[in-house]
Chain A
Amino acid sequence: MTSFWAVLSATLVKDIRLEWRSKDALNSMLFFSLLVVVIFVFSFDPLAEESRHIVGGLVWVAFLFAAVVALNQTWARELRNQVLDAYRVSPAPANALFLAKSVGNFLFVSVLEALMTPLFIVFYNLHVLGPAWQLIPIALLGTWALVVNGTFFAAMSLRTRNREIMLPLLLFPISIPAILGMVAGTTAVLTGENSAHFYIVLLLTYDVVFTTASLALFGTILHAE
């Protein structure tokens, strides 16, 4: 069991180190996210009242796009020089790799979200009418929901032609309940009209179900050629 956590942390540290050295993904993602926000501002220019109703959707759509680009990058690193094969011939547990990648992506997408959120607040003159602290569990659970399935399906799409376009095709349909939970939950908090409790529970359920399923099936995906 100790080797599981050792491999997990070593892989996570390795990924962060590689990301830090190249900064490829981070820089392009930041700029991409900024562009998405600006385009949304031009496309939807509502009054403060209306914006509360639509911003939940805009924010999460922007995060979703950013996450997909980020997720596509994570496995690209393992494909160069076929490093993934070195992992596959080793006795290291497959799930350690999966969790390390998921946690890495989670941190990465969270950083993006933290940087994009102020932009949305500024551009749309937002101020929250409901209990604002509830946005934190919604953001954390929602991000994990996107990232855990995204990491799994990105690994799956390694085994396909046109790998980059496959990820959204596999990820989006499965993510619909989670996206609905994030968007509706965020809107509920912003407008203060409804309770967001149900959506938090929904996201939690979604996370538990799909984290379990991913851990159960990732070995199969990793060792499929």
Chain B
Amino acid sequence: MKRLFPILSIVTVALLGYALYLALVVAPADALQGEVYRIIYYHVPSAWTAFLLFFINFVASIRYLTRSKASTENAAKWVAIGIGVAGLVAPFLPPVRRLIPAGMEPSAVATTIVLIPALYFLVGKLFPGDRLDVLAVTSAEVGIVFCTIVLITGPLWARPVWGIWWAPGDIRLTSTLVLWLIYVSYLVLRRFSNSAQTQMLAAALAVFGALDVPLVYLSIWFFRTQHPQPVIGGGGSMDPRMLHVLLFSWGAFLLFGFLVCWSRFRLELLKREVEQAHAMESLAGAEDSEKASLPLSRSAR
């Protein structure tokens, strides 16, 4: 375990370096945008990693909220199983199949949805009890870092391509910004809470945030149909070489995100252990002082 971390770190650096090489040298230039498009090899993997981390935060928060009562935990478990079964079957049914955008395999959609309950049970298995909350903080913090990268690289790309830094009608950029705002407010709450049950409050807010995401997406999706749209370059399918580089880059980013999460997780765990030890230490101290000052307290009567 101790040795795994440095080994993984070296592997990550190597992979990130190779991904950079692929992105800058190997991947072909875009027919419309030229060289500037290469930023997507950082932009898109960061976005996917951030979304994954936010989703982990949601799962951990749900598990944390439901774990106090056996009945709600059971209900949540069956909902997760239900989503899995529905996700496995539904994409192959003709009426649903028509809704899936062209170029997407139903089996791919099914696999993605089945990942939801898989993640739900995995998180429950690997992070018992209060570790769920530690996981929630960790994933939110690291998620925000990746999300910030997305929000910086997005306008950097938009400026030369669209001629403007920011398009309020752009659904992906704007909903990412709202997502970023929601999770920043999540961290602000954790920071300023003086409750003994900050974890509960934060978990509740995380659920609200997650419920908000589809609505944000929906609202901006409709909003933009009424507003002039910047031309998004290169519709249609991606060059397979580009896709290959993109996926490789994502792999490297995922590993990097995992490493950062891991060390942040250990740090947070350590911090809490120190806090507990501190409280326990003063407990031991109280036992010592008790003998010394007991007669005094009696005489006070």
Contacts and interface: CB of A to CB of B under 8 A. Distances in A.
**A and B in contact, CB less than 8 Å:** yes
Interface of A: 149, 152, 156, 159-162, 166, 169-170, 172-174, 176-178, 180-181, 184, 194, 198-199, 202, 205-206, 209-210, 213, 217, 220-221, 224-225
Given A160-B189, A169-B185, A210-B211, A180 B197 contact: no
A91 B33 CA distance: 65
Given A209-B211, A217-B204, A225 B195 contact: yes
Given A174-B209, A177-B212, A198-B222, A156 B204 contact: yes
23 contacts: A156-B205, A159-B198, A160-B192, A161-B194, A166-B188, A172-B185, A173-B181, A173-B184, A173-B185, A174-B182, A174-B212, A176-B212, A177-B178, A177-B216, A177-B219, A180-B220, A194-B226, A209-B215, A210-B211, A217-B204, A220-B65, A224-B196, A225-B197
B200 interface: yes
Interface of B: 65, 178, 181-182, 184-185, 188-189, 192-198, 200-201, 204-205, 207-209, 211-212, 215-216, 218-220, 222-223, 226
Contacts of A206: 215
Interface residues of chain B: helix, strand, loop or mixed (majority): helix
A173 B226 CA distance: 23
Contacts, number: 99
Contact of B204 (A173, A199, A221): A221
A170 B185 contact: yes
Contacts of A166: 188-189, 192
A199 B196 CA distance: 40
Contacts of A221: 200-201, 204
A213 to B, nearest CB: 6
Contacts of A159: 193-195, 197-198, 201
Nearest to B189: A170
Contacts of B222: 198-199, 202
Nearest to B203: A220
B218 A177 contact: yes
B223 A184 contact: yes
A202 B225 CA distance: 15
A217 B226 CA distance: 36
Contact of B201 (A178, A202, A209, A224): A224
Given A149-B208, A198-B222, 13 more contacts: A159-B201, A162-B192, A169-B188, A169-B189, A177-B218, A177-B219, A177-B220, A199-B222, A202-B218, A210-B211, A217-B207, A221-B204, A225-B197
A160 B193 contact: yes
Nearest to A149: B208
Nearest to A184: B223
A210 B218 contact: no
Contacts of A205: 215, 218
Nearest to A162: B192
Contact of A224 (B182, B185, B195): B195
Contacts of B198: 159
Of A161, A174, A198, A205, chain B has the most CB atoms within 10 Å of the CB of: A174
Nearest to A218: B204
